[in-house]
Structure 1
Amino acid sequence: MLAAGLLEVNIVCDRSMTAVTCLQESWARLGARGLRPMLDRFAEATGLVGMNERAAAAALVASRLEPAYADAGYVPQFPTWPFSERALADAAAAGMMPRTLLMRCDAFRRRCLAEGAVSVCDSLSAAGAPQEDLPQDAEFDLAAACREADTAGIRSDDDTWLGQLLRDTFDLYALEDDPDDTLDVASKGEPDQRIPPLHGRLIYIHRDENDRERHVCYRALQHQNAIAFQARLRAALTASGISARIPDRELLLIRRGPMPGGAKTKQLVDAFTAAGGLSIDPSDADLRVFVALRELHSRAQEDGASDRFERWIRAEQPLVNTAFFRDAGLAHAAKVGQAQGTAHVAGERPAPPVRSPVLEGQAAAESFAVAKEPASPKAAHAEAGKTVQPDQRTPRQLAPDAEVVAIPVGHRLSPDAPGVSLPLRLLPRHTAIIAGSGSGKTVLLRRLVEEAALAGIPAIVIDPNNDLSRLGDRWPERPRGFAPEDDRKAALYAERVEVVIWTPGVHAGNPLFLSVLPDFAELGEDRDERQQAIEMAAETLGPLAGAKTNLQRGVLADSLRCFAERGGGNLAAFMALLADLPDGISQIGSAAKLGLGMADQLHAAIATNPLLKVEGTVLDPRHLFFGRDPARTRISVINLSGLASDAAREDFVNRLQMTLFGWIKKNPSPRGMLYVVDEAQTFLPAQRASPSLGSGIKLVAQGRKYGLGMIVATQVPRGIHNQVVSNCTTQFFGRQSAPATIAAAQEILAANGGAAADIGKLAAGEFYFATEGSGRPAKLRTPLCLSYHPANPPTPEEVIRQAKRSTEPGTCARAS
């Protein structure tokens, strides 16, 4: 999508120069995944180089020194003093990056402050002159401070004292870590709250890996009350991101003594451990070290000895040598000259026997997505990151499902990640999916249709953009996100579901012909329903018959009323009635003349509109819902790529909805059927009139009584008519990008009692979900679809070939 946007910018701004700045890795990914025409419009990418000119390096250093010297009233011997011309020339010759150059200068500054004397620096290379071993500062007596340390503030029912001690300790840990060119370490506290979800986090920024960040979050949790403990642990899991399987996120739970008892507490702690969390019980000796270092640091600040304390703590490394930091696996980065075999790089865990939450967390994140699913031998031995072939067992070997009463829609984004299901009884009460581009909206729509088909519920699917025409294709390789249950269901789907592609307007595919008029003979004696059918027919025929005045519309309505009372028929029969209106049909004086004129207009419309020329059998909706094999559930995908204009598409959808309106009343379904409309803002718009809007509103209002449920999907929260959305009992809200659509989605969610401050930051496949009895909208992660869904939709030519294949006898799901 980003590559397409860059291509569009280049095309639209053809008289301007388009310049793109990004990380080198980002450009490489665009090249690998984007459109080739986009790359062809840009010159070869130019990577940044270091400061390879001595003058530039000198100017950078001088610009940093000049304000400080001016404030102190000091006139240096030369602008870059104490950094000599030789040191800056060597840095330029080495192509040193500006950040690295400034870090080396700052390291020399700190050394001078610690020594109490300033000398001229002739080398800024990492392998410069070796530093002499500096004598230990007698003023920082850690052993004596530990003997005086008071740890009485820790309590079994309050986290405040221990949380603040940890916050100060991790600040000192970041100070203890000597700055490195490739790695920054920052200690950050969380926003002040009465009950903070975390007490802080360490952030490792890997500069040599495109600024990759690793977050080590920590939370002191002393409460003995099980409910208080559970609430705080849940908040920590969410705030840290490990329950959502965010990469490079870890959580340390610091607690003195055992966990509270109880089944729910144990379940939550197990979920914490499975997600990669690590629990640490700090010893009394470690706590005294932490308190002592905090006191020494406080004294150094009061005495103006911060630089000497900083030199001392980096030389002694008192924190990293404690059992607490060893158990947490938090070693500092290897320094230049250290033995590679013994140094630990920050961001990696020490060797056993210390456990490895990072590696375990990655493995747990893999299993967390398929919590409580049995692991298959093939999945257990599949190499990480590789695709494996789908389960090779034949569908006949798979046990049939029991009676299905609900379809799974995902897992909550919470520590225990419970599954979320949608009862089948709610499908006839309609579903809305409202999410922007790239949110996973189409994948969710497909999975709902697929799960319903496995439960025996057929569907008619409107496909305006070719995105749904592969509902009958198998995945060529097993997707990485598939769980064992997905393998089983994909095989069942291929066996039990029949997908037929229809191509209205394209005779070379699988053409579909629908009557312009509803089947009045299918309607019962209900006068209201008959009147609704007449109104839909009038809305459809009015523009075709040129009925622009009230007189014309009145004659058309009277004619349709008479036509319906006589049992209806095809369009030719109605035009014959309209051209020669019997007396008494209408009280309008010029009814006969107006009727003849409208009949002529209809003849002209048929001559110019190919969709009105029925050149085949008018399709019975029964054939859209049911095939020849009663053991297989049918999904009819109606592809609209053969209809060139929006007007033609809206006219066809309107006729389909009118046909369904009449047919469903004579053929109610206790089990249920689905009518699915993708890009529903085109056919059921909120801001304009559309031929398909009236019939759609009537269908959504009446269909539920007869078992017909609608699933509507749109990218625009306010794009679908309110009478449609308000009739949808189940609603999914995915990521939005524009400020206006974010605000609109949040407003709709607020009306349902929910809040979605992060709706603009949701990942693909993450949705807020609400339905009857679910309470406030909750966030969940939805599964992949069972059928093949590549990044690009099929071309119109491929759709035609698929349509032909789908009509072949005995056709099952195909491997693409």
Structure 2
Amino acid sequence: MNETEERALRAVSRVLTWATTAEHAWNPPPFHVDAMHPRAERLIAEGIEEAAAASRTSPLGVVIEGEGGAGKTHLLGWVRGAIAEAGGYFFLVDFSAGDDFWKRTAGAMVEDLGRPAGGPGAPIQAMVALRRLADLAGVRERVNAAVDLGKGLDRDDLDALVNGLLARDRGLLRCRDTIRALALYAAATGPALDVAFDHLMSTEEAEEGDRQACGMSKAVKAPHEIAVELSTVLALTGPSVIAVDQIDAILQHSRTSSAEPRGDMLDELASGLMALVHATRRTLCLVACLPSSWTMISKHAIGTVRDRFRKSLILTTIATPDIARTLVERRFAVAFSEAGWAPPSPCWPIATAAFDTAPGRTPRTLLRSISAHVETCLAKGEVRLLQRFDLSGSLARVDKEERQPDDADLARLDARFTELLAQAEVSGAFDPAHEDELAPALLAAGLRAWVKEQGDAGRLFSVDPLPGRRPALHARLRQALAPDSEEQRHWTFRVIGARHHAAALKRLADGMEASGLGQDRPDRCFVVLRNQDWSDGPATRARMAQLKEHGGQSLTVRAGDLRVFEALRLMMAERDPEFDAWLRSRRPAGGTELLTCVLGPTVLHSTAPPERAPQKARTPAPPHADAPAAQPQARQGRSPAPRGMSADAPRLTHPGGTDVPRAAASDRTDFPRAAASDRTDLPRAAASDRTDLPRAADPGGADLSRTATPSRTDLSRGTSSGGGDATVSVGRRLDTGADVELKLSTLTRHTAVFAGSGSGKTVFLRRLVEECALHGVSSIVLDSNNDLARLGDPWPVPPAAWGEGDAVRAARYFAETDVVIWTPGRSRGRPLSFQPLPDFAAVRDDPDELQSAIGLALEALAPRAAVSGATAKARKGKAVLREALEHFARAGGRGFPAFLAMLGALPFEASQIDRADVIAAELGQLLRAATITDPLFAGDGEPVDPAQLLTPAPGRRARVSVISFAGLDPDARPGFVNQLQMALFSWIKRHPARDRPLKGLYVMDEAQTLVSAASRTEALASTLTLASQARKYGLGLVFATQAPRGLHNQIAGNATTQFVGRLNSPTQITVVQELARARGGRAERVGRLEAGQFYAASDGVPEVLLRTPQCLSHHPADPLTEEEIIQRASR
């Protein structure tokens, strides 16, 4: 592969996007293929022609059915262009944010009236309508003069417009307020725009008399009245299309325990669609949905709704090779033009014959197959033509080396960024008069840059197009939760600079409504950006409490962050060919405090293979503008990390979800920041939201002991065998300098560590493991982020942050500790596998323990046997599986093969359920299939033996077993952890600690991803069992998380000792402060702590603030690559 071919392939990769969103409807890419869905296009074109020719009536609606990836949303982009050519209006109603039919419909019409009529740069649809209405009313010159001169419309202008239209049609009398509101929405600014918006959004006027001044009544019209009246008024000037999208999302969300959507939801949706066709004028109503969604509506709804819609053929798959080739060639033509290269064939690197195997595939699966092939070519450095699409799913996964720009390109773009950053002017973003104009573009630029920074993982993320006038929201980021699913996660943003409490409260309420935020919507996050305190009034306090309760956030934002977004916006417009690669290298958007706080714990799913390979060395990044030329020594000896991303920052994760590789810290750039005067604490709770409680008195004498003087306790003089009740030092008090020590016996009552990015959490966990190892206590450490696998690496040079005696302790640690890295999911390194069943024989004589072991086995096997659902079939299957496990355990059965054999011939006495033998045989086949598809499930590799994980090699006192998750897909991790914990539970009961306070330590970092409060994972049951019973056997558990709100409450409740480091999210801060108050503390500075500072509390011990020591093993800024982990595991 030569340089030109590589550049062309990378350009091709950029046009292979398959997660179509609202952006594709409003700004469609030039890839449309007319013959892709001919019947749907014909029906839609006929409907537009009929609407254009009609005077009052609307044509029959059209239903566009198709599975995920069939092209429904892409087709809507073509529809928008077609209606614009016909001189009409386009409205896209997105039900992914909520389920109130008429409120969503009216709101979408109002917002879309503020969007360009014919693409970027064109006048907004409302302005087009106003000029046409003025022409009809005979006041064209008057209105055009007012608009063109920028003076806005006054009361006389509005009266003249309304009177002129009423003279043509007295039937418009009921619409006169809406006509005035539409005119003001198109041309007014400031308070007059607010008056128009409030009327159109069915809201009470903010101040008495506001509407009267514009000639409007104070009556509030219902959303369905607004929608109908807007349609009536717009019909005077042209046809309209109302496209209803994402109804699948609300049907999915409203499903009940019977797996069917609520009847009232179906009723509202069906009646709304029927009325939309019946009550609107000159309007074609389109519904884009999954076939199953329309089937439910048709079956449940009254017959008339079916009579008002025509169904196109279901959009399924590509019909002919020619269509597939045209679809690909049009995308590739854009890429080759961008690369400035003439390919040997228009579809290079796809063989022409390959398109013969394309029919039967959706456009999305075709593009994903091509993307996989292109990435494989790039990774191998060799171009091979793809010969068949029906074999592309078996392409070998290869390590993908993320391309980096040349040093010269990096330096050039660094300089350009620095230049634009210095010139950026963003002060208007918090001016209430201009925030709706400036904030959306800034936030959208920051979010789009953040998506590009994620590389392949960003393909499932999208940013909504810029909103219309007076938007309820300023930006929305979406994540498709699966490649072929219509389900999404949303993050929405709204800047609120209004100083008057009523105006601020109104914008807050509008934003919460538009975001879809709700107690039953954990997949929606609404972020309010406000740099001044909220009102202390009861209405605002109630609304803020609701915001927090539903998982929203109110944050302040630095002007420096907005300058970064503005600089990125301008660089995007310049379309430098190296810009995307520069973003992935420097990550300026992800380094802002705002996006670190909001998206730092975000789940990323990467669906486009192959995986990322180790990073190459980079050109040094430019320093902060306000930083000295020479970097000061970082605390605890770590290299300075980029702003917003500490050296021990966790990888991007989310409760119940997955993660994705992230560039090493050394690859991210710390860019010039705003001056100190521009900075604002992020986040900052409003004064009304803070509660000061009296500090509890210090009773003393508990397990967290403190020396009376600031002298250091020499732990090397502890009991050499780990017997007795020795102590480990966890830090020094900030007020007195005294050591804070923790008894080993206290660790058996479990520990929770709540700390966010940049807090020093990773350093703290490593030092705790190291101190325990010095006392002969072995540990099992789950490494989610590749930053704990260096526990066996000594420092190349003693760090400055080491305390007295740490050099000696480090030498002892490496001489006496056996650190072993395990790599489940990888054939190289030190792989692991599991036998799915615990050792029943070990607990057969204890009825309670036997039932617990059977329950754990059932939890592990049920998902793989497809009996974890709520259907009657699943419940019956789960009952048979449990009876089979009980029979097997009591009969002394051993091993999973023997259990599968028993399922194939289930004894009659094993179950009370009819046809249990048939059900058991099917369960056995499903479980056998699981062993084939999941190599960890009863597969090859070192069988997991907790004794091996916790027993040191001869001549060593302790073993630290680090289990790296680098080789495990995120979805496989909970199942792996569940099996590990089942084995550990069974072993620890047979080998309890007898003459020592602590048998072993089990450390779970990023615990919220494995034992989430939001969803039930495979690991939950076994974790709760360990948390409730492991202490009596001498096993200590340590749960660490940066999202305490996402951690299951029984985990935090079972932890006697808690450490709280710096957190960034107001929601998480509130959670830990509530936990602190329950223990008599306050954790009042938790949002302002420095790295390495922690609040510590234990049973009967009040809160103390301490600084933790530097770890004994090497801890540089960047985590290990997967290859480096495998090398360590192979030692």
Relative to the length of structure 1, the TM-score reads: 0.51
**3-state secondary structure, aligned to 2:879:** helix
Provide structure 1 residue ranges, at least 5 long, that are not aligned to the other structure: 1-10, 17-35, 51-208, 213-369, 376-397, 806-816
- What one-letter code is carried by the residue in structure 2 that aligns with 1:510? R
Counterpart of 2:828?
Answer: 508
SS at match of 1:777: strand
Q: Which residue of 2 aligns with 1:458?
A: 778
Match of 2:811 in 1: 491
Partner of 1:448: 768
**Does structure 1 residue 787 correspond to structure 2 residue 1113?**
yes
Change (3 A) 1:688 1:44: closer
In 2, the alpha carbon distance for the partners of 1:643 and 1:570 equals: 24
Q: Secondary structure at the match of 1:635?
A: strand
* Distance in 1 between residues matched to 2:767 and 2:1057, nearest whole Å: 15
Aligned partner (choices 575, 582, 599) of residue 924 of structure 2: 599
C-alpha contact (below 8 Å) 1:373/1:485 kept by paired residues: no
Kindly state the Cα deviation for residue 401 of structure 1 after the two structures are TM-superposed: 6.8
Residue number in structure 2 paired with 1:609: 934
Aligned residues: 437
Q: Contact (CA 8 Å) 2:823, 2:963: kept in 1 or not? A: yes
Aligned to 1:355: none
- After superposition, the CA RMSD in angstroms is 3.1
The 2-side partners of 1:634 and 1:450 are apart by 10
Letter aligned with residue 1009 of structure 2: T
Match of 1:768 in 2: 1095
Task: Give the deviation of 1:37 after TM superposition.
Answer: 6.7
The whole-number CA distance in structure 1 between the counterparts of 2:713 and 2:750 is 33
The answer to whether structure 1 residue 413 and structure 2 residue 734 are counterparts is yes
Q: Please state if 1:659 is matched with 2:1032.
A: no
Q: Say if 2:779 and 2:1001, in contact at 8 Å, map to a contact too.
A: yes
User: 1:563 — aligned with what?
Assistant: 888
Identity %: 44
1:584-639 deviations in Å (ceiling 9; x for gaps): 11100110110011111112222212222522452321000003315421010010
Name the CA distance, whole Å, in 1 between partners of 2:914 and 2:717: 70
Q: Could you tell me which residue of structure 2 aligns to residue 623 of structure 1? A: 948
> How has the CA–CA distance of structure 1 residues 407 and 585 changed in structure 2, closer, same or farther, with 3 Å as cutoff?
same
Task: Please give the alpha-carbon distance, in whole angstroms, between the structure 2 residues aligned to 1:779 and 1:41.
Answer: 40
Q: Deviations over 1:509-531 (max 9, x none)?
A: 00112211111122252211111
Amino acid at match of 1:572: P
How far has the Cα of 1:211 moved from its partner?
A: 11
Using the TM superposition, name which of 703-712 and 403-412 deviates more. 403-412
* Change over 3 Å in CA distance of 1:479–1:553 after alignment to 2: same
| Matched residue, 1:546 | 866
Contact residue 519 and residue 568 of structure 1 kept, 8 A: no
- Choose the corresponding residue for 1:723, options 1050, 1070, 1078: 1050
Secondary structure in 1 aligned to 2:826? coil
Structure 2 residue aligned with 1:45: 418
AA aligned to 1:619 is: V
Matches of 2:421 and 2:882, distance apart in 1: 73
Rounded to whole Å, the distance in 2 between the matches of 1:456 and 1:412 is 26
Aligned residue for 1:681, secondary structure, equals helix
Deviation at 1:430, TM superposition (A): 0.6
Q: Which residue of 2 aligns with 1:650?
A: 974
2:1006 equivalent in structure 1: 679
Offset, 1:552: 0.4
Aligned position for 1:634: 959
Deviations 1:171-228 (A, max 9, x none): xxxxxxxxxxxxxxxxxxxxxxxxxxxxxxxxxxxxxx9699xxxxxxxxxxxxxxxx
Counterpart in the other structure of 2:1124: 798
Aligned to 2:841: 521
Contact 1:502/1:510, CA 8 A, preserved across alignment: yes
In the alignment, is the contact (CA less than 8 A) between 2:978 and 2:1018 conserved in 1? yes
SS in 2 for 1:446: helix
Judge conservation of contact 1:374–1:484 (CA < 8 Å) in 2. Answer: no
* 1:549-576 deviation digits (Å, cap 9, x = unpaired): 2110100000000111122322211111
2:915 matches 1:590: yes
Q: Secondary structure at the match of 1:471?
A: helix
- State the one-letter code of the partner of 2:847: R
For 1:261-297, what per-residue CA distance to the aligned partner results, in whole angstroms no more than 9, with x for missing partners? Answer: xxxxxxxxxxxxxxxxxxxxxxxxxxxxxxxxxxxxx
Partner of 2:355: none
Distance 1:665 1:210, change over 3 A: closer
Give the match's secondary structure for 1:627: coil
The Cα offsets for residues 55-110 of structure 1, whole Å up to 9 and x where unpaired, read as xxxxxxxxxxxxxxxxxxxxxxxxxxxxxxxxxxxxxxxxxxxxxxxxxxxxxxxx
Q: Distance in 1 between matches of 2:830 and 2:820?
A: 9
| Cα distance, 1:210–1:649 mapped onto 2, change above 3 Å | closer
Please, which of 693, 701, 724 is the counterpart of residue 1028 of structure 2?
A: 701
Cα distance change on mapping 1:495 and 1:594 into 2, 3 Å: same
In the alignment, the residues of structure 1 paired with residue 879 and residue 420 of structure 2 have an alpha-carbon distance, to the nearest angstrom, of 72
Shifted more, 621-630 versus 449-458: the winner is 621-630
CA distance in 2 between counterparts of 1:534 and 1:714 reads 29
CA-to-aligned-CA distance 1:437-483 (integer Å, 9 cap, x gap)? 11001110111111011011111111111110000000111111111
SS in 2 for 1:699: helix
Alpha-carbon contact 1:441-1:734 (below 8 Å) kept: yes
Amino acid at match of 1:761: R
Q: For 1:137-183, what per-residue CA distance to the aligned partner results, in whole angstroms no more than 9, with x for missing partners?
A: xxxxxxxxxxxxxxxxxxxxxxxxxxxxxxxxxxxxxxxxxxxxxxx
Q: 1:39 to 1:651 in 2, by over 3 A?
A: farther
* Correspondence for 1:395: none
Look up the equivalent residue of 1:614 and give its one-letter code.
Answer: G
AA partner of residue 643 (structure 1): L
Equivalent of 2:787, from 467, 471, 475? 467
Rounded to whole Å, the distance in 2 between the matches of 1:524 and 1:38 is: 68
Residues 26-79 of structure 1: CA distance to partner in whole angstroms, max 9, x if unpaired?
xxxxxxxxxx979846615349999xxxxxxxxxxxxxxxxxxxxxxxxxxxxx
Distance 1:40 1:514 in 2: 49
User: For residue 710 of structure 1, what is the aligned residue in structure 2?
Assistant: 1037
1:779 is aligned with what amino acid? L
For 1:49-68, what aligned pairs fall within 5 Å after superposition? none
What are the within-5 Å matches in structure 2 for residues 110-189 of structure 1?
none
Distance 2:955 2:1013 in 1: 39
Q: Distance in 2 between matches of 1:689 and 1:699?
A: 16
For the Cα contact (< 8 Å) 1:439–1:763, is it kept in 2?
yes
CA distance in structure 2 between the aligned counterparts of 1:783 and 1:801, rounded to whole angstroms = 28
Tell me what 1:747 maps to.
1074
Unaligned runs of 5+ in 2: 1-16, 28-119, 121-408, 424-624, 629-708
Query: Following the alignment from structure 1 to structure 2, what is the Cα–Cα distance between the partners of residues 433 and 667?
Result: 27
> 1:531 aligned to 2:851?
yes
CA distance in 1, matches of 2:422, 2:413: 24
User: Are the equivalent residues in 1 in contact too, given 2:1010–2:1017 (CA < 8 A)?
Assistant: yes
Query: Residues 732, 48 of structure 1: CA spacing in aligned structure 2 closer, same or farther, 3 A cutoff?
Result: closer
Conserved in 1, the CA contact under 8 Å of 2:820 and 2:962? yes
Contact 2:750 2:1038 survives alignment (8 Å): yes
1:127-526 correspondence runs (5 A): 372=711, 405-414=726-735, 416-526=736-846
TM-score, length of structure 2 as denominator length: 0.37
Q: Specify the alignment match of 2:30 in structure 1.
A: none
Q: CA distance change for structure 1 residues 554 and 41 in 2, over 3 Å: closer, same or farther?
A: farther
- Superposed, 1:36-115 pairs within 5 Å as 40=413, 43=416, 45-46=418-419
TM-aligned CA distance change 1:491 to 1:39, over 3 Å: farther
Cα distance between partner residues in 2 of 1:689 and 1:39 = 49
Task: Select the residue among 720, 734, 756 that pairs with 2:1061.
Answer: 734
SS of match in other structure, 2:1106 = strand
Helix, strand or coil at the partner of 1:553 = helix
